[in-house]
Structure 1
Amino acid sequence: MDSADVVVVGGGPAGATAAEMLARAGRSVVLLDRDGRIKPCGGAIPPRLVGDFDIPSELIVARIGSARMVAPSQRRVPMPIEDGGYVGMVDREHFDEWLRVRAAAAGARRLTGTFEQIERDADGGAVVRYRAPGLAKDAASGAIAARLVIGADGARSAVGRQNIKGADRMKFVFAYHEIVRSPVAGEADFDSRRCDVYYQGVISPDFYGWVFPHGATASIGTGSAEKGYGLRPAVARLRAATGLDRVETIRREGAPIPLKPLRRWDNGRDVILAGDAAGVVAPASGEGIYYAMISARMVAEAGLAFLATGDARALSTARKVFMREHGRVFWILGIMQTFWYRSDRQRERFVAICRDKDVQRLTWEAYMNKKLVRARPAAHIKIFFKDLAHLLRLVSP
């Protein structure tokens, strides 16, 4: 039987990052990924990710210098990034593949196939069963014995549902987007250096819609946790409202996006989750690439400790470290989504708050640095009282 120290299931940013780190540490790694998978994603990455993970500039297809929030009333609030800062935009089709190639260059062995299940050998060790592309249903599946299995196979992780308690109850938003040709100047309500975010019930009853530039292309999408909500018609409405219904559609994609980290990432034995499979997508914003990759780094570190000692308790440290560094941000964003996204009246007030320069400055600083910024206590106090005034409806939107 084929064997490896680690089998990583899923070759997105989390899986590829974990595979690369483990391979560089000298471990034998198999990176198992489905063929032709592209996740629907706005593609935004902060400068911190670029620096922390050595992302080359050629992968950044656009540099965004501002965002624009659009309220139900059509009020538009610009949020420029100060001091020459930017949000990098990547095309997941090429970004993910570059990460997989880098993992292979570090020594990980790439394998194309679909994960089926984890079985146990006579000694209780994990055996990963997978199906290669094109095999008939009655054909024998492939098998790899592994000391450690990392599930990085998305929000509906098969690895997680089969092996981690509570993974089958993950909360998520259904997301759908369309990749289109970027319009020429004046053809639509579109700016190649601006991300537009639509907080409108007609686009999403509990999330938001977006128009994100990707250089030669753009992502237009929305999401909702409301089962049965018509995401495609909502995107069609957004395209019609912006004039982007007149440009060419290149592809359409949909997938669930988790909005809360799982309470457990490992099975206490030899299986652990990372990225979307672990639920590490930020509530309210839906940002996931940075959190996927940083969680993968923590999972890889925990995996190396486990492989070196055989002590399965090392696996639980990954979640503890992640929540210590990012749990407070996730908690605040979760509250924000629950309160501000629940009605058009609340969305109108939320967009109104975004006019405040202190809110804009602290929002961008937190996004760029991936932590709450405490260097401006006066600004925090001002924002608290402004929020309170909106909550009590003492001011008009």
Structure 2
Amino acid sequence: MEHDVVVVGGGPCGATAAEDLARAGLSVVLLDKAGRIKPCGGAVPPRLIRDFDIPDEQLVAKIDTARMISPTGRQVDIPIENGYVGMVDREHFDEFLRDRAARAGATRLTGTFLSIDRPDGRPVVRYRDKATGEERALRTRLVIGADGARSAVARAEVPGGREIPYVIAYHEIIAAPGRTATYDPHRCDVVYDGRISPDFYGWVFPHGAHCSVGMGTGVDGVDLKAATAALREAAGLADAPTIRKEGAPIPLRPLDRWDNGRDVVLAGDAAGVVAPSSGEGIFYAMAGGRAAAEACECVLLSDNPRDLRMARKTFMKQHKAVFRILGAMQDAYYKSDERRERFVTLCHDIDVQRLTFEAYMNKELVHARPLAHIKIGIKNVAHLMGLVPARPAL
């Protein structure tokens, strides 16, 4: 039997691609290793909930405030106006998406991807079945590589797939208390402190009965577990029972090419689509999975492999500007504690708060406030040139 598409990887990206293709009436296989939970803060914006029809029961918490914490311990609370940030538990959320893809008509298989062969020109995906240990094969017309930041599909098939830069993320899922003096189950804490991460940030994200506490860094030699222990101590969560510990690479920038010009296209972390500065990945993974599915549908209709390029073009047309600005912000403010201090100071500005969360919630730049953009630009320049104090006057 020859399938139309084999999707390698069953996270939010691969499950979304498989569901979309199955709903289009195509023969789709979703191949996933299973048994692995990606370390993730679990934040999902309202646009994801709308675009991908996520039921309310998948949200383990609804966040109404974000707290930015500077290297000197200053705190800026930013209310999330006109909405909320949903939180999901990846253990259950990913399985919900995989099950939904299967109910749409995708065939679920559990196993480890090995290679792609082309004995007669058509791709054959070889994998090791988890239950039996046997090597098996899937004939297909196209392959979507949605198998993470160290994608085996990308390394084997797509130019540049071996060189993608990444940071390492580590977190601990713990049993969360109720509201305390240092922990709020409706507030996300983001810690910009070089002692926690010299080039990224730490987080305390509520997950209902649980909480994700973690950090990320691309610097060798950083003790991830010690940094996370310090975060837990500061949040009053040091004695909370630990449920599980997880670590994984998070890509830093989109690859320049997402397809092999023939029969393979990448999506999600495999294509490098995690937002700079924030590290947000779930929305962009699912958007990338949808773009890859649309590109595959076009190729199956046109029989022109050049249409695989549509996946990257479609995604970047929608999100390139946001990625560029977030990348510039990370380059500007994550270099030192002095810069991080200035960034938290900038977050005091009401226009910064509103524009930031409007952009986050809707995943597009807000153009309706030109004067606010100008003011923010001037303040950015003033901070980066050291023309204003790093800390506001008391």
TM-score (norm. length: structure 1): 0.97
Are 2:71 and 1:77 aligned?
no
Distance 1:325 1:185, change over 3 A: closer
Partner of 2:386: 393
1:180 to 174, 193, 204: 174
Are 2:362 and 1:369 aligned?
yes
- Give the Å deviation of 1:227: 2.3
Match runs of 1:88-167 below 5 Å: 88-121=86-119, 123-133=120-130, 135=132, 140-167=134-161
Match runs of 1:154-233 below 5 Å: 154-186=148-180, 189-233=182-226
Identity %: 63
Partner of 2:272: 279
- Give the Å deviation of 1:319: 0.3
Are 2:9 and 1:10 aligned?
yes
Measure the CA separation in 2 of the matches of 1:375 and 1:116: 50
> Aligned to 1:167, what secondary structure does the other structure show?
coil
Match runs of 1:247-396 below 5 Å: 247-396=240-389
> Aligned to 2:365, what secondary structure does the other structure show?
coil
Measure the CA separation in 1 of the matches of 2:237 and 2:250: 25
Measure the CA separation in 1 of the matches of 2:309 and 2:275: 21
Instruction: Return 5+ residue gaps in structure 1 as ranges.
Output: none
- Match for 1:287: what amino acid? E
- Match for 2:59: what amino acid? I
Measure the CA separation in 1 of the matches of 2:223 and 2:334: 18
- Match for 1:343: what amino acid? S
- Give the Å deviation of 1:37: 1.5
Measure the CA separation in 1 of the matches of 2:81 and 2:312: 33
- Give the Å deviation of 1:184: 2.8
Summarize deviations over 1:31-52 as a string: whole Å, max 9, x none: 0001211111000000011111
- Match for 1:156: what amino acid? R
> Aligned to 2:255, what secondary structure does the other structure show?
coil
- Give the Å deviation of 1:284: 0.4
Measure the CA separation in 1 of the matches of 2:369 and 2:34: 48
Partner of 1:23: 22
> Aligned to 2:340, what secondary structure does the other structure show?
helix
> Aligned to 2:149, what secondary structure does the other structure show?
coil
- Match for 1:117: what amino acid? S
| Segments ≥4 residues shifted beyond 4 Å | none
Measure the CA separation in 1 of the matches of 2:314 and 2:118: 30
Partner of 1:52: 51
Measure the CA separation in 1 of the matches of 2:198 and 2:234: 17
Instruction: Return 5+ residue gaps in structure 2 as ranges.
Output: none
- Give the Å deviation of 1:134: 5.2
Summarize deviations over 1:361-396 as a string: whole Å, max 9, x none: 000100011011000001001111111111111111
CA RMSD of aligned residues (A): 1.0
Aligned residues: 390
- Match for 2:174: what amino acid? V
2:332–2:384 CA contact under 8 A, matched in 1: no
Measure the CA separation in 2 of the matches of 1:75 and 1:117: 51
